[in-house]
Structure 1
Amino acid sequence: MVSLLALLFVVAIFSLLSIANSINRDADEQSGKLLQKALHNRVDTLSTHIKDYAWWGEAYAHLHVTVDPEWAYARQNMGSSLYRDYQYEGIFVLDGAEQTRYSVIKGQLSSRSLTEWLGENPLPTLLQSMNRPDALPLTYTMVLHEGHPALVAMAKITNGDDEHVHLVSGSSSTLVFVDVLDDKKLAQMGEEYGIDETRVQKKDAPRPEGRRGTLTLPVNGQSLTLEWKSEEPGRQLIHYILPLLILLAFGCGALAWGQSRNLLKKARMFDENSYLLAQSRQALAASERRFRDVAEATTDWIWETDNELRFTWLSDRFPGITGHSISAWLGQPVTALMEADNLSLAEWITQPGQTGHRRLLHCRYRSAMDHQRYCHIAIKPVITPEGVTGYRGTATDVTLEVEAQQRVQYLSRHDELTGLPNRMRMREFLEGKLQALPTLEQPLAMISLDLDKFKPVNDLFGHAAGDKVLHEVSARLRRCIRDNDLVARQGGDEFILIIPDIDDHHYLETLCKKIITELLRPFMINGHEIFIGASLGIALAPHDAVDAGDLLRYSDIALYKAKNSGRNKWLFYTPEMAQQMVQRREMEDSLREAIKLQQFCLVYQPRYDLNSSQIVAAEALIRWQHPQLGLLMPDQFITLAEETGLIASISEWVLKTACRDAQQSLEGLAVSVNISAVEFQSWGIVDRISDALRESQLDPGRLEIEVTENATLWDPENSLELMQALKNIGVRLLMDDFGTGYSSLSYLRNFPFDGIKLDKSFISGMPESESANTIVENIIGLGKAFSLSITAEGVETQGQLQKLKMLECDETQGYLISKPMSLETLKEKRAAIDAAAQQRLEEKT
C-alpha cells in the first residue's frame, strides 16, 4: 500500500515537472517571435528614416551633385542629430564607384570609409539586392560589428518630388545608414515586448543566473545567438504545486506508518505481557546474585551495623583492602576501626533527624600491616516502623589520592630535582622573616648564587650529569648553612640563600668563603672529575631594603657585578651598583639608537711597509659620535655591544663602510677590519663579508680580517671551518695582538693566517731591553718560517723603527707613522709620502 502511494506521487511529480518544462519552452518560443518582430520593426523604422533622407531634393543637391559638409553636418541636416535622436552610429554617402564621399560616425564627422569602419564590405550584397529588376531603390542587410549585429540600410539618393532640383547625368549616389544593435539597444528592444536582459550570447562571458532563452540569427553566413532572461512560467507552477504534493505525500506516509505501528504495538503487547511475567522471577534472582557479585568485585567495602554501631556484616572486599579478617571485627564498634578529623565519628553517624545518604571525607584507619590508610564513608540509617535499627554504608579507599595531594602540595613549594624549597616557598619564608623586622644589629642576608662554568658540564657530559651536579651542589649548600637558614633553588643553576638573625657580621664573610670552597672541590660524576665555581651577590635587610622583591633585585645586581669582576667571589650590594646598571641600560638604549641613526664614523691608521717605504694598508677603527658624551672610543662601547648582541649590526656597518671607502678613495691599498671574538663564532660573518664585497665591488684580496688568537679557542673546529670559508672568498686573515693570548705553534700551523701583528707590549721595551729585542726577533723568525707577513704595532720612536728594520720586520703601525685619521687626511698623507718617495728616486737618478 505504501509502495503504491509512493509510485503515484512520483508519477504526479514527474508529470508536474514535464508540464512546467513544456510551459517554459512555449514561453521562450513566444519571446523569440516577439524579439524577431522587434527586429523587423527596427528595420522598418530604419527604412522609413533612410527613405525620408534619400528621397529629399536638398540632399540630392548637397550630397549627390556636390558634397557640402557645411549643409549636411554643420547645419544638422544629416549630421550628429541622427546619432543623438535615433542612435544611428554610421551615416555614409557613396558615389557610383562605391567610394565614400561623406561619413558621420557616432555623431562625429569622419573620413573613414564604410568598409574600413565596419570591418567588412556589405556593399555587394546590398547592390545585388537593389539591382534586381523588381527591387525598390531601397534595401537592407545585417552584418556583425565588434560582436554585435548591425542593420545596414541603403537607398539611392533622388530628388524626390522636388521640381526645383535639376537632375544631373551619371551614376546615382547612395545613402547608407548603420544601426549597431549593442546590448543596451537590444535590452530596450526586448523591454518593449516584456523581454528582460536581451543581449548577444558570448562564449567567454560569465553565465548569469536563471534560465536563458535563445534566438539564433543568420548573419552573412554566420550564426549570431541572442539570449534573454526567460520568464519561466513553469517555475511558478512548480513553486506552488510541488510543495503541496510533497506535503501530501508525507502526510499519507505518516498516516500509513502510524496505522501500521498501532497494529504492531497491539500485537506485541500480548506477547510482552506473557514474557515479562516469566522474566520477573528470573530478574529477582539475578538481582540478588548481582548484588553479591558487585559487593565482592568493587574496590569499596560494604558494612552494616546495629543501632549500637557494632559491625553486623562486612563484604568480602573488607579483608582484601584492610588486611583484617571479617570474623575479627564482627561485633566490634565501627569507632574502634575508623576515626574522623576534628569530630566524633559516632556523633556524626547517630546525628538525629538524618534519614538520607550522607558522606564523610578522609576517615583514618590502620591496616593490618599498621599502615596509615584513608577512606571516604557513605552511610544511610536502616529505618523500620519501630525506628532506626542500624546503619549501612560503604567505605572507599582514597589513600593514593591523599598521598598524591600531599605530593602535589610538596612539589608546589619544593624543587623536584634537588628537593630544595622553590621560589614560592622561598618568598613565603623571606616575607615571614621580614615581618619579624630584622635590625641593623641582627640583619637578614639575601644571597643570590650562580654557578660558574656549569653550561659546559651539560654540553660535555649531558644533562643527566648536570642534574647530578645540581643535586650534589644542593647537598653541599645545606651543609654550609644553619638550621634556621634557608637555601632554595631559583631555577637553572641559580640558588638563593636566606640567612636571618646574623649576630656576627663576620659570619657572612666566613659563610661565603666556605660556600665557594665547597663548590670549588671536584664533583665525581660517572667516573669524571667535574670542576665548577660560584659567584655570590649579597643584599642586607634592613640596610639595603625591607621589601622581598627589592632584596632579590639588589642581590641579583650584586651577583651580576661579581660575575663580571672575575667570578668565584662575593660582593655586597651598594647603591653605586644599581646606578651602574641604570647607566648600562641607558648606554644600551643609546647604542641601539646610534645603530638606527648611524652615529658612527671610521678613522684609518695606516700600515707602513719598511722595504718600499710606502703605505700599503690601513686599519679601519670605529668611533661613536655620541650626541651628549661626544666622541667615544671602541673600548667604551664594544664590550657592551658584544654582551647585548648588537655587535653584528655594528660589524656589518663597519665592513660595508670600509669596503666602500677602499674601493672609492684608497686605490691600491688594503683595508683591515677587526672582528669580535663573540661574532667570530657565528657563520653569519661569512655572509656579511660576502655582502660587503659584492655591494662595494672591492677586490677580496684587498680586504684583511683581523682576529685575536683567543677568538679561536671557544670552538677550534668551527673556527677552522669558518676561516677556510673566508679564505675561499679570497680575503686575507691576520692574527691580531699576537703574543697576548694562548699563543702556540699549533695556531700558526693549523689555522690559515696570512700574517701576524705583534702586540705593542713587546715593542714598547725596544730597543733598550735586550729581552724585548730577543722576543721580537724570535717571533719574526717564527712568522717567516710559516711564510707569514709580520706587522709591528705601537711603533712610537725612531729607535724602535730602526731596530725593526734590522730584524727584517715587514710592516709597522703606530703613532710614529700616524695616528688614526679621517679618510681625507689619509689620502693627503699618502699623496705626500708618494711625492717624497718620487723625489728621492729622481735625486738618485
Structure 2
Amino acid sequence: MHFQARRHEMTSYAFPPSSDGRARGLVRKPMMIMLALLALSFFAALSALLYVADDLNAKADARSGMLLEKAFASREESMRFHLSDNAEWGEAYENLHRTLNLDWAWRNQNLGESMFKTFGYEGVFVIAPDGRTRYSVLNGALQLRAFQAWLGQDPLNALKQELQQNEGKSLSRFVRVGDEVALVGAAWITTGGDHSVEQTGGAPSLMIFVDRLTPAKLESAGAEYGIKKLRYAAPLADATRSADRYGVAALGGVVSLRWQSDNPGGALLTWLLPLLILLMGATFFTATMLMRNALRKARHSDVSTFLLEQSRQALSASEQRFRDVAESATDWIWEADAELRFSWISARFPVVTGYHSQDWLQQPLSAFLLDDADLLQRLRQREEPGEPLTLSRCRYRSAQQHIRYCNLTLRPVTLARGQKGYRGTATDVTLEVEAEARVRYLSQFDELTGLPNRAQMNACLAGKLNGDRPLAVIMIDLDKFKPVNDLYGHAAGDSVLHEASTRFNACLNDAGMTARLGGDEFVMILFDSADREAVEDLCARIIAAINLPFAAGGGEVFIGASLGVALAPQDADNPGDLLRYADIALYKAKNSGRNNWVFYQRDMGEKIVQRREMERELREAIQTDQLRLAWQPRYDVRAARVTAFEALVRWHHRQHGILMPDQFIPLAEETGLIGALSDWVLLRACADARRELPGMAVSVNLSAVEFSDKGLPKRILAALEASGLPSSRLEIEVTENAMLQDPDTTLEVMLAIKALGVKFLIDDFGTGYASLNYLRTFPFEGIKIDKSFIFPLSDSSQARQIVENMVGLGKAYSLSVTAEGVETVCQMEQLQQLECDGLQGYYIGKPQPLAQVVAQYGAVSAS
C-alpha cells in the first residue's frame, strides 16, 4: 500500500496538468474540420440537386420553345406551298388576274370553300394591282370584303415590298390582330411557266391566304408537338423566349404565348430530396460517435506526449546551437588551425567546388586560392588581429579546372584545448562576376556577331571626326534576308548574320570598323577614305562577298546587300548627319533595284520628303474619297455579250490630276497602305456591282504582297457581307509573281478565299516567272493572256502560234482563257477562231466611270 501511494504521488506530480488536454485538442480540431467538410459537402450536393432540377425545367421549357418554333415554321412552310401551288398557275393568272371568273374560282372550287374546310384558311383574297379586293372567300363562304377591313390591319404595303425583295417568291408573315395573331401569306399571281397563257404588262395581282390562330387552333397546334395548354398571355417586352413564355414577332407588335411546363425538376426533387436529407442525418450521427470515441482514446496518449515533449526540447537546444553557426554562413563553412590548414569543411564544399572535403583537410587555404599565397603573413601583420577579415572575389580553380570566384570571410577563434585557429565562410560569386563582365561586353559589342554595337560605333565616329581626317560611312542593309528567317528559322538567320559580319571584316581588312545596328543593318566606317574610287572598290567587294552562297538549313541560300555611302567632310562633319545621310543614300539604293550602292547627294533629302508627302496624300486620299473606279467590260465569246467588268482604281489627285495605278500602287505596297487601299476597292466594287450591274461578274486586282496576310479572307468576306454581293460574282485577279513569295502561305490564303465561293484569275499571264506547275496546284479558274502577246497577232504567225499554245495550255488545265488588249476586229476574229473564252480591250470597251457603264450596258445586265 505504501509503495502504491508513492507511485501515485510520482505520477501526479511528474506531469503538468496542462498535458491532459493536449491530445484531445489535436483530435478535436480535425474532427470539427471533418464535420464542417461534411456539412459543406451536403450543402454542395443540395445546391447541385436544386441546380439540376432548375436546369431540367429550363431545358424542358427550351425544348417546348423549339418545338413551338418548329410548329410555326411548319405552318408557314405549308402556307407558302399552298400559295405557290395556287398563285403560280396559268389558269389562275387567266381567271383571277386578267379577268375575274367566279365560275372557275368559286363554283369549280379552284379557290373556294375547300381552302377553309381542308386547310383551315379563314380568309382567301385576290388583290388587284391598285390594292382593291377583287375576290374573297371568308370562313368558307363567298363574300366580297376588303382585305384590310376584314383583317383589322393593313400589312399590304409591307407584303408587297417584301415580295419585291424576295424576287416574287411566296412568303408568309405573322400579323397581330387584337390580342391574337394571324398567319398571312402572299404571292404574285403568275403564269408559272405556262407558255400557253399570254402574260400581260403591268403589275401582277396578289393572292393572300389568312390563317387566324384562334385559341382553339393554338392549343391544338401545341398538342401536336406535346406542348400542353398553349395559350395567349400578357405581352412580353420583346420577341424573345423566356422560360415558359414565347414572343411571336408579328407585324403590328409582339404577341406573347405561354404553356404548362412539364416540370421534370419537381419530380426529381420529390424523390431525391428526402433521401438526401436522410443520408445527411445518418452521416452526421456516425461522425459524432466516431469523434467521441477518438477523444476518449486521446486521453490515454497524454503521458507519452509529455515524454515526447521533453525529447523535443532537448533536440531544439541542439538545433539552436547548429542554427547559430549556420546563420553566419552564406555558402560553405570551414575551420582551420593557426597555420590556416583546413581542419573541417562543411558538406556544401563538394557541391560548390567539385572537390571531396577529405582531399583538402590539412591543406593550407593559400593552396586553394590562386592570388593570396601571402594570406597568413598578412593576417599576422594586421593592426587588429582579433577582428574578422573579408576578402572579395578571390580566385580559385574548381575540380573541373574552371576559374571561379568567392567572397571569403575569416574570423580568429579559439579552438578546442585552447588552440588558436580560424573559422569562416566562403560565398561563391562566380555568376555575379561573369554577369558584370557580360554587361561590360554587351555595352560595347553585339552579342550575336561580336561586332561593335551602336554605342561603340558612335564613340569611334566622333573621335575620328575630331581629328579632321577624311572617312566614309557605309550603311549596309541585307536584301532578301527576311525569307531566310521565315523559311529556315531564326537559328539559320543568326548563322547568316554571323557569316555576313565575318565577310564584312574580311572586305574591310583592318582599314576601319564594322558595327551592327540591329536586325540586318550594319555600318562600316572606312578611315582615311579620301579616294572615292577606293570606296567604290570596297562597296563592290562587299556586294560580291555577300552574293556568295550562305549555308542554311542543310542547303544554300543567296542574299544581297544595298549600300548607302556618306563622306566626311564633304557631306557632313558630325556623326548624326553622316549616319542620316548614309541612311538616305541606302533608301535610294533599295528603291533603285537593290544589291548596289549609292553615294549621298544633296537632292536626295528633298526626294525623301516628296515621297513622304506622297504617302501622306495617299493615306488622305483613301480616307477622303479621292479614289474612283473605272470599269472595263469583258466579252464572253460563247454568250456573245458582255458578262463581266474589271474594276480599275484611279486616284483623282487635287494637284496632279488623274493618277494611274502604276503611279501609286508600288508606294502603297512599300508603306503598308496596300491593305486599306484594297479594302476600299473591294467594298466599292462589290457595292457598285450589286447595286448597278445585276447579274454581272466583277473582277478586282489584288497586289501580290496581300497574299502574305492570313487575314485577307476575312477582309474579303466582310466586303461581300457589307455589300450583299454574292461571292460567285466576285473574281480576284493576281499576277504570277504572287506565287513566288512564300508559296505555302499564298496557297493557304487562296484556298480560304476559294472556300468563300470567290474565283481566281491569273492576270498578265505569260509575263511572270511562276512555274506552270502552279496552274495545277493553285485554285485558279482562268487565265488572262497579257496584251503584249495580242498586239502582234495580226502581223506575226509566230505570235499567233504562241497565243494558240497558251489557249491550249489553259484548256488542258480546264481553265477559261481571256485575251487582253483586243483593239481591232481582226484580232477579235482571230481569237474567236482560236477558241478564246473571253475578250477584253479597247475594241470591246475602254475603262469608263460607272454612270457611263450603266447607261451603255444596263439593259444587257438587266436581261
Tell me the TM-score normalized by structure 2.
Answer: 0.53
1:713 shift after superposition: 2.9
Residue 477 of structure 1 corresponds to which residue in structure 2? 504
Take 1:545 and 1:579, find their aligned partners in 2: how far apart are those partners?
17
Tell me the TM-score normalized by structure 1.
Answer: 0.54
The answer as to whether partners of 1:557 and 1:578 remain within 8 angstroms in 2 is yes
The answer as to whether partners of 2:627 and 2:652 remain within 8 angstroms in 1 is yes
1:792 shift after superposition: 1.8
Give the 3-state SS of the residue equivalent to 2:792 in structure 1. coil
The reply on whether 1:782 has 2:809 as its aligned counterpart is: yes
Take 1:291 and 1:613, find their aligned partners in 2: how far apart are those partners?
103
Residue 561 of structure 2 corresponds to which residue in structure 1? 534
1:765 shift after superposition: 2.1
Superposition map of 1:621-660 within 5 A: 621-660=648-687
The reply on whether 1:591 has 2:618 as its aligned counterpart is: yes
Superposition map of 1:158-177 within 5 A: none
Superposed CA deviations along residues 611-649 of structure 1, whole A, max 9, x for unmatched, are: 665333221111122233332221222222223332222
Residue 547 of structure 1 corresponds to which residue in structure 2? 574
Residue 458 of structure 2 corresponds to which residue in structure 1? 427
**AA at the equivalent of 2:849:** S
Give the 3-state SS of the residue equivalent to 1:766 in structure 2. helix
1:741 shift after superposition: 0.9
Higher mean alpha-carbon deviation, 599-608 vs 658-667, is at 658-667
Superposed CA deviations along residues 345-385 of structure 1, whole A, max 9, x for unmatched, are: 99999798999777676688999999998777889999xxx
**AA at the equivalent of 1:454:** F
The answer as to whether partners of 2:341 and 2:362 remain within 8 angstroms in 1 is no
The reply on whether 1:696 has 2:723 as its aligned counterpart is: yes
- Counting matched residue pairs gives 537
User: Match for 1:675 among 702, 705, 730?
Assistant: 702
Take 2:584 and 2:377, find their aligned partners in 1: how far apart are those partners?
61
The reply on whether 1:605 has 2:605 as its aligned counterpart is: no
1:825 shift after superposition: 1.6
Superposed CA deviations along residues 90-112 of structure 1, whole A, max 9, x for unmatched, are: xxxxxxxxxxxxxxxxxxxxxxx
CA change 1:350–1:501 in 2 (3 A) is farther
Q: Which one has a bigger Cα radius of gyration?
A: 1
The reply on whether 1:455 has 2:482 as its aligned counterpart is: yes
**AA at the equivalent of 1:630:** G
The answer as to whether partners of 1:295 and 1:315 remain within 8 angstroms in 2 is no
The answer as to whether partners of 2:371 and 2:395 remain within 8 angstroms in 1 is no
CA change 1:590–1:348 in 2 (3 A) is farther
**AA at the equivalent of 2:465:** L
User: Match for 2:542 among 498, 512, 515?
Assistant: 515
Residue 412 of structure 1 corresponds to which residue in structure 2? 443
Superposed CA deviations along residues 474-500 of structure 1, whole A, max 9, x for unmatched, are: 222222223252222222232222222
Take 1:691 and 1:370, find their aligned partners in 2: how far apart are those partners?
67
Residue 822 of structure 1 corresponds to which residue in structure 2? 849
1:337 shift after superposition: 5.1
Take 2:676 and 2:325, find their aligned partners in 1: how far apart are those partners?
79
The reply on whether 1:466 has 2:493 as its aligned counterpart is: yes
Identity %: 52
1:448 shift after superposition: 2.3
The reply on whether 1:581 has 2:608 as its aligned counterpart is: yes
1:504 shift after superposition: 3.2
Residue 525 of structure 2 corresponds to which residue in structure 1? 498
Residue 791 of structure 1 corresponds to which residue in structure 2? 818
Superposed CA deviations along residues 213-262 of structure 1, whole A, max 9, x for unmatched, are: xxxxxxxxxxxxxxxxxxxxxxxxxxxxxxxxxxxxxxxxxxxxxxxxxx
The answer as to whether partners of 2:330 and 2:426 remain within 8 angstroms in 1 is no
1:326 shift after superposition: 11
User: Match for 2:594 among 531, 552, 567?
Assistant: 567
The reply on whether 1:800 has 2:832 as its aligned counterpart is: no
**For the aligned residues, what is the CA RMSD?**
5.0
User: Match for 2:840 among 813, 819, 824?
Assistant: 813
Take 2:398 and 2:710, find their aligned partners in 1: how far apart are those partners?
67
The answer as to whether partners of 1:360 and 1:377 remain within 8 angstroms in 2 is yes
Superposition map of 1:174-323 within 5 A: none
**AA at the equivalent of 2:678:** S
The answer as to whether partners of 2:332 and 2:425 remain within 8 angstroms in 1 is no
Take 2:635 and 2:701, find their aligned partners in 1: how far apart are those partners?
18
Give the 3-state SS of the residue equivalent to 1:625 in structure 2. strand
CA change 1:561–1:393 in 2 (3 A) is farther
**AA at the equivalent of 1:414:** F
Give the 3-state SS of the residue equivalent to 2:836 in structure 1. coil
Give the 3-state SS of the residue equivalent to 1:820 in structure 2. coil
The answer as to whether partners of 2:643 and 2:861 remain within 8 angstroms in 1 is no
Take 1:335 and 1:741, find their aligned partners in 2: how far apart are those partners?
70
Take 1:303 and 1:700, find their aligned partners in 2: how far apart are those partners?
92
Give the 3-state SS of the residue equivalent to 2:579 in structure 1. helix
Superposition map of 1:144-163 within 5 A: none
Structure 2 runs not aligned, ≥5 long: 1-17, 19-316, 414-419
Higher mean alpha-carbon deviation, 570-579 vs 630-639, is at 570-579
Take 1:623 and 1:762, find their aligned partners in 2: how far apart are those partners?
25
The answer as to whether partners of 1:297 and 1:317 remain within 8 angstroms in 2 is no
CA change 1:545–1:669 in 2 (3 A) is same
1:734 shift after superposition: 1.8
Residue 707 of structure 1 corresponds to which residue in structure 2? 734
Take 1:682 and 1:746, find their aligned partners in 2: how far apart are those partners?
23
The answer as to whether partners of 2:761 and 2:780 remain within 8 angstroms in 1 is yes
CA change 1:571–1:331 in 2 (3 A) is closer
The answer as to whether partners of 1:335 and 1:346 remain within 8 angstroms in 2 is no
User: Match for 1:764 among 762, 775, 791?
Assistant: 791
CA change 1:801–1:548 in 2 (3 A) is same
The answer as to whether partners of 1:606 and 1:820 remain within 8 angstroms in 2 is yes
The answer as to whether partners of 1:488 and 1:497 remain within 8 angstroms in 2 is yes
CA change 1:358–1:558 in 2 (3 A) is same
Residue 217 of structure 1 corresponds to which residue in structure 2? none
1:697 shift after superposition: 3.2
CA change 1:666–1:347 in 2 (3 A) is same
CA change 1:705–1:514 in 2 (3 A) is same
CA change 1:722–1:532 in 2 (3 A) is closer
The answer as to whether partners of 2:330 and 2:427 remain within 8 angstroms in 1 is no
The answer as to whether partners of 2:331 and 2:428 remain within 8 angstroms in 1 is no
Take 2:589 and 2:639, find their aligned partners in 1: how far apart are those partners?
51
Take 2:813 and 2:853, find their aligned partners in 1: how far apart are those partners?
32
Structure 1 runs not aligned, ≥5 long: 4-281, 305-310, 383-389, 839-845
User: Match for 1:733 among 749, 753, 760?
Assistant: 760
The answer as to whether partners of 2:328 and 2:425 remain within 8 angstroms in 1 is no
Take 1:722 and 1:735, find their aligned partners in 2: how far apart are those partners?
15
Take 1:641 and 1:352, find their aligned partners in 2: how far apart are those partners?
79
The answer as to whether partners of 1:296 and 1:315 remain within 8 angstroms in 2 is no
CA change 1:463–1:721 in 2 (3 A) is closer
Give the 3-state SS of the residue equivalent to 1:640 in structure 2. helix
1:509 shift after superposition: 1.9
